[in-house]
Structure 1
Amino acid sequence: MIIALRSAVFAPIAVPSPPVIGTPVVLASPGSRPSGKSLVLSGAPSRIGPVLLVGIPNSFVS
């Protein structure tokens, strides 16, 4: 049961990690800034969602 709980907590943290690295790379690429900016903005909910998924249940844990 502990492994399942740890996996459930780790997954939402690990999923948004690649965009943290990829966002500066996309924005720094020459010539692709306009299309890269829209890609980064459209992916923002995928980074905010896991934070809420972990944060809301965490607020019930004492």
Structure 2
Amino acid sequence: MSILLQALVFFLISLSTALVVGIPVVLASPGQWERLKNLIFGSAAAWSVLVILIGVFSSFVR
């Protein structure tokens, strides 16, 4: 169970880094927002799910 929690935290950190770098780039590029907004919203939803999953799994790991 501990390895699963560590993997989830790794994916959360990776996704957070990608979003912190990617969102300003997409917003600064002309015409990219319309093309990539579904990807950004999906990534934000995945980030939210990861935060909730980490909270649930951390209550089981001691």
TM-score (norm 2): 0.60
Which residue in 2 is equivalent to 1:14? Answer: 13
1:56 match: 56
Name the CA shift for 1:31/1:52 in 2 (closer, same or farther; >3 Å): same
Q: Which residue of 1 aligns with 2:30?
A: 30
Larger Rg belongs to:
1
* CA 5–38 in structure 1, closer or farther in 2 if over 3 Å, else same: closer
Distance 1:22 1:6, change over 3 A: same
Q: Distance in 1 between matches of 2:26 and 2:10?
A: 24
Higher helix share: 2
Q: Give me the TM-score of the superposition, normalised by structure 1.
A: 0.60
Q: SS of the counterpart of 1:30?
A: coil
Task: Tell me: higher relative CO, structure 1 or 2? Use CA pairs within 8 A at least 6 residues apart.
Answer: 2
**1:54/1:6 CA distance change after superposition, 3 Å:** closer
Which runs of 5 or more structure 2 residues have no equivalent in the other structure? none
Q: How much is the aligned-residue C-alpha RMSD, in angstroms?
A: 2.8
Q: CA deviation at 1:22?
A: 0.8
Instruction: Specify every segment of 5 or more residues in structure 1 that has no aligned partner in the other structure, as ranges.
Output: none
User: What is the percent sequence identity of the aligned residues?
Assistant: 37
